[in-house]
A and B are shown apart, each in its own frame.
Chain A
Amino acid sequence: MSARTRTTLFLISAAGLAAIFAWGLRDVPPMGDYRGPYGYVLTQVAVYERHATDTVNAINYDYRGFDTLGEEFILFASVLGVLLLFRPAGQKKEDAGKKRVQLEDALPVSDTLRVGMQAMAATMIVFGLYIALHGQLTPGGGFQGGVILATVPLVVYLSGNVKTFEAIVSNPLTTLAECGGAGGYAIIGVLALLAGAHFLTNFVPLGKTGDVFSSGTIAIISVTVGVEVAGGFLVLMQSYLREIIEERLQEER
């Protein structure tokens, strides 16, 4: 296809798209327009029914907890997919066991960066835990807290401390966290069944509104999701890192 036909084809389809887009814009409701009843109902009812001040998480982990379970397994499956894709090929595996190429022990970073990043890592751990534990009270929750915690090793890497970074990322506990977190969500749902209620019913005592230990299973599920997400992202990092290490092994050969 010559450049000219391509341009003509593009112009025709762009004009078509623009026309359809303009047509679609005609009936767009004004900004902030909301027609479903559930949003209004849930913001009114969530604090009373579930003792959770963050309605978003009350919806995520309780009212539509089953959907979130599915979403969590999307993340689980995609991490699993990456692991499958990056699995060490048969013969390479033996080599990697015998001769393990380390990354640099320490990166040449300035003192400012080193100290600053170490202080930041500590702050981020606290912040991540805070976000993960207060999901039912303030915006945030397990997913956000988990992702924040998973970025902490990167900050450690930036501080030049490659050894620690490797130790955190290649720790077998990450896989355990990934699997345990994902399974834990389902197990909490099954426990509700054993307690004689429907799957994922909020069967734990709700506690006092505003407390860290309130809102029953919402807080518990939020923490399990945090564990799963942090583990998942660390596993991802590990597999990417292993790819680069293997590349170095081949280079040295």
Chain B
Amino acid sequence: MRLLECVILLLVAVTAPGVVLSRDPKRQVVTLSFYGLICALMFFIFQAPDVALSQITVGAVMLPLMILLTLTKLRRQNLRREREREK
């Protein structure tokens, strides 16, 4: 059990800088989602299944989704502005 705890803590420690170091926002969303899953696993291993359940859906689905939708909107806005400038 102790070993499992160490492994999952190490995984969290590795994936967290991974999120920060992936500079492209689109890739960052994917790493963030993965990090959310790892966090959920950590909560589960540390015997907090309640928190793990909400972390899975909020951290691994909802948060990345909202960032992705924002990115879509920004990209479209930029495209439109560029097109207007060309005119």
Contacts and interface: CB of A to CB of B under 8 A. Distances in A.
Contacts of B62: 147, 150-151, 233
Contact of B73 (A148, A236, A243): A243
- Secondary structure call for the B interface: helix
Nearest to B57: A147
Interface residues of B, number: 17
Contacts, number: 50
Nearest to A250: B80
Contacts of A154: 61, 65
Interface string B47-87: 00110011001100110011001101100110010000000
B56 to A, nearest CB: 9
Contacts of B76: 244, 247-248, 251
Interface string A102-135: 0000000000000000000000000000010000
Interface in A10-53: none
Interface stretch (A138-146, A174-182, A183-191, A196-204): A138-146
Contacts of B80: 247, 250-251
Contact of A147 (B49, B58, B69): B58
Interface of A: 54, 56-57, 131, 139-141, 143-144, 147-148, 150-151, 154, 233, 236-237, 240-241, 243-244, 247-248, 250-251
19 contacts: A54-B50, A57-B50, A131-B53, A143-B54, A144-B50, A144-B53, A147-B57, A147-B62, A148-B53, A148-B57, A151-B57, A151-B62, A154-B65, A237-B65, A240-B66, A241-B69, A244-B72, A251-B76, A251-B80
